[in-house]
Amino acid sequence: MAAVRRLSAVPIRRCHPLFLLRSFSSAGSEPTITVETSVPFTGHKIDPPSRSVETTPSELLSFFREMSLMRRMEIAADSLYKSKLIRGFCHLYDGQEAVAIGLETSITKKDAIITAYRDHCIYLARGGTLVEAFSELMGRRAGCSKGKGGSMHFYKKDSGFFGGHGIVGAQVPLGCGLAFAQKYLKEGTVTFSLYGDGAANQGQLFEALNISALWDLPAILVCENNHYGMGTAEWRAAKSPAYYKRGDYVPGLKVDGMDVLAVKQAAKFAKEYALKNGPMILEMDTYRYHGHSMSDPGSTYRTRDEISGVRQERDPIERVRKLIFSHELATASELKDIEKEVRKEVDDAIAEAKESPMPDPSELFTNVFVKGFGVESFGADRKEVKAILP
């Protein structure tokens, strides 16, 4: 990311960055910085948004801290898995943090997000805590799904996060259903359905997109294209890996998913469009540093040079670090202090999560079925549902 201009001559780097964060948030005003995205947006059947994105010192510092926290959480999860404190499936998100943070910046908790099984960081961005995350990973009662969901099934309904899902692509029609509910209830909100390049060829995705377009639903399909499915490169799985064009009649936008400000701009643009016109596809060009899951070393189908090259040239945290330095918002030492605090926060959360007990065996039979909900529930509302459709 290259800085375009600084809209204030006020010197702001004279104190610790965390103090800056608190000072600006309490004062309610701070200088605005305009930044140009790393690469242009590419549109399909739509004019792309501007590359110039407005941000603030406190926002940039919060980006750095939040993405560093996510990165540290995933590195810690790797260690816990290897120590056999996390069992079963575990899919890590390090490298893709800019997508989670950028989306969150432009929406509210009333907007909905639903994603696949690489869900830890999305949960954190939606307001979940580290203790809840680590407890769930280790199958403890204090987990966000009471220790019964594990890595693939994080959930936080009160913040509009409708989960990680284990079946490839299955979350997309569910997300379009959420968008239908939002339109039905006239909430003025949207749903972001996240999926990977591996799921982009699923038939259910196209079926859900088709009906969303027919009904002008506020559904935004977000392809997190990290370029590899379960060990398969995108060019070996898709005849057309330009996923933002795959909606055909639905407009799309290709975004640098390693640039948090580009994601912020794209999410704002997509939400405004979807509320007025219906569905849209966002393709986030991103990258995962770990393998597909913990059973995948991630180095048999790609080179270590490729991974290190992305880390050096496109890492989302390092991009924000450079932007902070270019605007003199913090020193290297001050950012190191933030990273130390993040490490301690993660370590403390793990220690607390380990103290949480395992679920009682009787929990196997709870949260399975809701009485009184079935097809008959929709009879009285049939006319109302029909009335909102084109």
DSSP per position, 138-199: TT-TTSTTTTSS-TT---BGGGTB----SSTTTHHHHHHHHHHHHHHTT----EEEEEETTG
pLDDT at 367: 84
pLDDT at 20: 56
pLDDT at 8: 34
99, 263 Cβ separation under 8 angstroms? yes
61, 330 Cβ separation under 8 angstroms? yes
User: How far separated are the first and last CA of the chain, in Å rounded?
Assistant: 42
Question: In Å, what is the CA distance from 327 to each residue of 51, 222, 322?
Answer: 19, 31, 9
DSSP E strands in the chain: the ranges are: 2-6, 33-36, 42-44, 52-55, 112-114, 191-196, 219-225, 252-256, 280-285
327, 33 Cβ separation under 8 angstroms? yes
65, 89 Cβ separation under 8 angstroms? no
Question: In Å, what is the CA distance from 6 to each residue of 9, 115, 317?
Answer: 7, 36, 21
Residues forming a β-bridge with 379: none
Q: What is the mean pLDDT of the chain?
A: 91
Report the distance separating Cα 109 and Cα 103, nearest Å: 11
Report the distance separating Cα 247 and Cα 279, nearest Å: 9
pLDDT at 370: 77
Report the distance separating Cα 137 and Cα 149, nearest Å: 8
Domain range annotation of the chain: 2-8+21-353
Instruction: Please give the chain's pLDDT, 390 residues, in tens.
Output: 443 333 333 334 445 555 555 555 555 678 999 999 999 999 999 999 999 999 999 999 999 999 999 999 999 999 999 999 999 999 999 999 999 999 999 999 999 999 999 999 999 999 999 999 999 999 999 999 999 999 999 999 999 999 999 999 999 999 999 999 999 999 999 999 999 999 999 999 999 999 999 999 999 999 999 999 988 999 999 999 999 999 999 999 999 999 999 999 999 999 999 999 999 999 999 999 999 999 998 888 999 999 999 999 999 999 999 999 999 999 999 999 999 999 999 999 999 999 999 999 999 888 888 776 554 554 545 566 566 666
Report the distance separating Cα 291 and Cα 147, nearest Å: 24
Helix (H) / strand (E) containing 80: helix 57-82
231: how many CB neighbours lie within 10 A of its CB?
Answer: 16
Question: In Å, what is the CA distance from 349 to each residue of 73, 120, 299?
Answer: 10, 14, 31
pTM of the model: 0.89
- Extract the tokens encoding 340: 């130390």
Max Cα-Cα span within the chain: 64
> What's domain 2-8+21-353's architecture?
3-Layer(aba) Sandwich (3.40)
